[in-house]
Chain A
Amino acid sequence: SYVLTQPPSMSVAPGQTARIPCGGSDLGTKSVHWYQHKSGQAPLLVVFDDDARPSGIPERFSGSESGNTATLTINGVEAGDEADYFCQVWHSTSDHQTWVFGGGTKLTVL
């Protein structure tokens, strides 16, 4: 089965930059999406197709990819950015399809 690896937690002071990595085999051949999830709410898409930003998402959120690692970058972190962040890809084989999420990174704003 396909696995996406994220650090379980990260802490950043307000105004600083958070860079959340997501690693996976042959990740460069896949489109990576990023979701923000806060308790009691629906997951919110913040970056799709590696580096595209949905309408309404602040420019502080950006995505990039290099080799087998995708990165979600949050510039000028704010208290409201404290949440869990998950990367996600679609993985297809000859007889099966799965939508794979990383284990998630809990972002704490100090």
Chain B
Amino acid sequence: QKEVEQNSGPLSVPEGAIASLNCTYSDRGSQSFFWYRQYSGKSPELIMSIYSNGDKEDGRFTAQLNKASQYVSLLIRDSQPSDSATYLCAVNVYSGGGADGLTFGKGTHLIIQP
């Protein structure tokens, strides 16, 4: 059974600091990893995707993947109050013969304190 684990939080970070969000997954066959941001009452919005070991940077966001440790993280630099949201880690086992959906963690609630 595929499992994706996240600390539910809330994680409270001062404005301007670095927010660090973590995720572990159980299926070693997982190949694609995503971070979605979800504001209260809204739909998930893609923030970052990564599928090879190492770091991937996009603006203030950096995704880090370590397949050996089955660990993926998201760093948010220069945190802003608008970053306050729930961050969902999602994992996909790419089958090549047909997509089988994403397995989501329960999300980490991030609060940026002004």
A, B from the same assembly: no
